[in-house]
């Protein structure tokens, strides 16, 4: 490779990494718009979750066939990216397969492994593509994915196939090599002369690395961001029983001071808000959840409300949260501070009807392979509806007043509570 090529490679790499880190910082900033909550207890259990849920993909194995295909893509992605190291060093120094002399026969073993994985990635992606577009699995043709999300999903699969094919072509057109998969492709290029082969190899090399840079910069705009965020999201996954709702200490204290006024500190201020109306009222974990969502729809497929044709789709809750967060992030960037745009997550992005359909059954939480809780967001929005906007169905208002007056959700006389003993 010439000096010019080396130089342009370095410039392109620099730009690619610069742009990517800029977007990463934007996302980090957006996530930190969420309310500050401390999640740092029990680090051992948390690392265990990273190991089991993120690295080990434990939840994926609820469906073993899909889990194995996904594992090919995942291992392929990670392992083949080791080869990226050589590609980058070659690019900078203008060398060709710089690691080969140092690794000896191990080099062949390594590249053969990469090639097998590349082939498996191609097979898995083709199957995934058919599940979406030919078999039309229910969770992939849902209205949640109309428009961009559908395109996003297919684009990723196509990019993966193209990148892997370029990698194999690059090896196949390298006349001095004989690797396990690409050698089968070599007959295709038999009739070409050496300089053409060289040109194809160089082009594949360039397209492969440029493709990877493009993919990297596409990530922050895509659902595919889960390949990065699944790891921190597993670390910060809640460790308590799924049935436990997050306690509102402010309300707890409010009740305590009403009951025991002597405990009330002087000048204790009421919290500004109860529950969440917008993304800033959610926790940073809720917002990281939104960026971690890869829109696979396992949550919605398991949701009893969604299954029975209700408007609620837990996946849509996550997508709406991310969409709103992006809008708010841009608003802040343009105006230096958030300027009211007359919209909120509640009502404008997520409707009351959706929230009302939830049975809090935790099926969505149990299914999510990347430790997202759509339920947490649903419940925070419900709190705002009821406590800030007095927006509850009549029957619920009846239930509240029954609990208040009769100590039971139904209108029975509290004195009859032990009537069953007399029967």
Partner 1 sequence: MKVSTMAECMANGTQPEVLFWVGCAGSFDQRAQKITQAFATILDKAGVHYAILGKEEACTGDPARRAGNEFMFQMMAYQNIQILNGYGIKKIVTTCPHCFNTLKNEYPALGGNYEVIHHTSFLQELIENGKIKFTDSNEWKGKTITYHDSCYLGRANDIYEAPRKVLESLEMELREMKSCKSKGLCCGAGGAQMFKEEEKGDIRINQLRANEAIDTKANFIASACPFCNTMLTDGIKNGPEQVNAQVIDIAEIIALAII
396 contributes a contact to partner 1 by CB under 8 A? yes
Q: Which ranges constitute the DSSP H helices of 270-339? A: 284-292, 298-302, 304-307, 314-335
Maximum C-alpha span of the chain: 99
36 contributes a contact to partner 1 by CB under 8 A? no
Query: Look-up: residue for tokens 């497929």?
Result: 301
63 contributes a contact to partner 1 by CB under 8 A? no
Those residues with Cβ within 8 angstroms of residue 381's Cβ, 6 or more apart along the chain or in another chain: 275, 276, 277, 345, 346, 350, 355
Q: Which of 28, 62, 138, 178 binds partner 1 (CB under 8 A)?
A: 62
In the complex, what is the shortest distance from the CB of residue 383 to partner 1, in angstroms, rounded to a whole number? 4
In the complex, what is the shortest distance from the CB of residue 254 to partner 1, in angstroms, rounded to a whole number? 7
In the complex, what is the shortest distance from the CB of residue 249 to partner 1, in angstroms, rounded to a whole number? 8
User: Both tokens of residue 315?
Assistant: 């996946």
262 contributes a contact to partner 1 by CB under 8 A? no
Q: Which of 302, 370, 372, 377 binds partner 1 (CB under 8 A)?
A: 302
- 167-182: b or e for each residue (b if 16 or more CB lie within 10 Å)? bbbbbbbbeebebbbb
Q: Nearer to partner 1 by C-beta: 184 or 412?
A: 412
Q: Which of 5, 188, 400, 405 binds partner 1 (CB under 8 A)?
A: 400
Q: Which of 128, 167, 205, 274 binds partner 1 (CB under 8 A)?
A: 274
In the complex, what is the shortest distance from the CB of residue 66 to partner 1, in angstroms, rounded to a whole number? 15
Q: Nearer to partner 1 by C-beta: 2 or 241?
A: 241
305 contributes a contact to partner 1 by CB under 8 A? yes
Q: Which of 185, 356, 376, 405 binds partner 1 (CB under 8 A)?
A: 356
User: Both tokens of residue 174?
Assistant: 């390298």
CA atoms of 19 and 11, how far apart (whole Å): 12
94 contributes a contact to partner 1 by CB under 8 A? no
Total site size for partner 1, rule CB under 8 A: 67
Q: Nearer to partner 1 by C-beta: 24 or 361?
A: 361
User: Both tokens of residue 52?
Assistant: 């089991």
CA atoms of 312 and 57, how far apart (whole Å): 27
39 contributes a contact to partner 1 by CB under 8 A? no
Return the range that interacts with partner 1 (CB under 8 A); candidates 31-39, 183-191, 255-263, 313-321: 255-263
Q: Which of 255, 269, 334, 337 binds partner 1 (CB under 8 A)?
A: 255
DSSP 223: G
Q: Which of 307, 338, 341, 405 binds partner 1 (CB under 8 A)?
A: 307
CA atoms of 206 and 194, how far apart (whole Å): 18
340 contributes a contact to partner 1 by CB under 8 A? no
Sequence-separated contacts (24+) of 79-85 with Cβ below 8 Å:
79/113, 79/114, 79/117, 80/114, 80/117, 80/118, 80/121, 80/164, 80/167, 82/110, 82/114, 83/110, 83/111, 83/114, 83/167, 84/209, 84/212
Return the range that interacts with partner 1 (CB under 8 A); candidates 198-206, 316-324, 325-333, 390-398: 390-398
CA atoms of 175 and 376, how far apart (whole Å): 57
* 3-state secondary structure at position 37: coil
Return the range that interacts with partner 1 (CB under 8 A); candidates 30-38, 67-75, 111-119, 298-306: 298-306
Dihedral angle computed from the Cα positions of residues 417, 418, 421 and 423, in that order, rounded to the nearest 10 degrees: -40
Q: Nearer to partner 1 by C-beta: 208 or 298?
A: 298
341 contributes a contact to partner 1 by CB under 8 A? no
* 3-state secondary structure at position 283: strand
Q: Which of residues 193-252 bind partner 1 (CB under 8 A)?
A: 240-245, 247-248, 251-252
Environment class of 308 (CB within 10 Å of its CB; exposed 0-12, middle 13-18, buried 19+) = exposed
Note the residues at the interface with partner 1 (CB under 8 A): 62, 240-245, 247-248, 251-252, 254-256, 259, 274-275, 302, 304-305, 307-312, 353, 356-363, 365-366, 379, 382-387, 392-393, 395-396, 398-400, 403-404, 407-410, 412, 414-421, 423
């Amino acid at each position: 490779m010439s000096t010019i090529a080396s130089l342009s490679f370095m410039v392109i790499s620099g730009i690619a990494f610069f742009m990517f880190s800029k977007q990463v910082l934007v996302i980090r900033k957006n996530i930190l718009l969420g309310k500050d909550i401390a999640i740092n207890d029990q680090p051992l259990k948390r690392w265990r979750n990273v190991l089991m849920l993120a690295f080990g993909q434990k939840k994926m194995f609820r469906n073993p066939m899909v889990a194995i295909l996904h594992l090919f893509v995942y291992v392929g992605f990670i392992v083949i990216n080791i080869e990226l190291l050589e590609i980058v060093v070659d690019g900078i120094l203008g060398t060709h397969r710089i690691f080969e002399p140092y690794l000896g026969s191990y080099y062949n073993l390594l590249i053969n492994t990469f090639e097998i994985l590349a082939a498996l990635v191609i097979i898995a992606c083709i199957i995934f593509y058919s599940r979406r577009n030919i078999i039309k699995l229910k969770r992939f043709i849902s209205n949640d994915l109309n428009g961009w999300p559908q395109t996003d999903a297919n684009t990723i699969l196509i990019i993966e196939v193209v990148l892997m094919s370029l990698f194999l072509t690059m090896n196949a057109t390298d006349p001095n090599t004989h690797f396990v998969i690409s050698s089968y492709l070599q007959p295709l290029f038999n009739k070409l002369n050496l300089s053409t082969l060289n040109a194809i190899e160089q082009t594949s090399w360039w397209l492969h690395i440029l493709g990877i840079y493009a993919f990297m910069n596409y990530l922050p705009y895509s659902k595919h961001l889960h390949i990065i965020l699944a790891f921190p999201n597993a670390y910060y996954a809640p460790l308590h029983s799924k049935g436990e709702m997050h306690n509102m200490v402010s309300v707890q204290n409010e009740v305590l001071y009403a009951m025991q006024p002597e405990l009330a500190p002087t000048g204790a201020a009421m919290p500004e808000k109860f529950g969440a109306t917008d993304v800033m009222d959610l926790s940073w974990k809720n917002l990281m959840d939104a960026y971690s969502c890869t829109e696979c729809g396992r949550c919605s497929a398991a949701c009893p409300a969604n299954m029975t044709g209700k408007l609620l789709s837990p996946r849509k809750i996550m997508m709406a949260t991310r969409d709103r967060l992006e809008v708010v992030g841009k608003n802040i960037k343009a105006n230096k501070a958030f300027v009211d745009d007359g919209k909120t997550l509640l009502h404008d992005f997520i409707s009351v009807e959706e929230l009302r359909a939830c049975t809090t059954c935790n099926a969505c939480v149990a299914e999510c392979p990347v430790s997202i809780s759509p339920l947490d967001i649903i419940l925070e929005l419900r709190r705002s509806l009821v406590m800030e906007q007095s927006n509850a169905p009549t029957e619920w208002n009846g239930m509240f007043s029954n609990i208040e007056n009769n100590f039971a959700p139904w209108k029975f006389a509290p004195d009859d509570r032990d009537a069953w003993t007399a029967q």
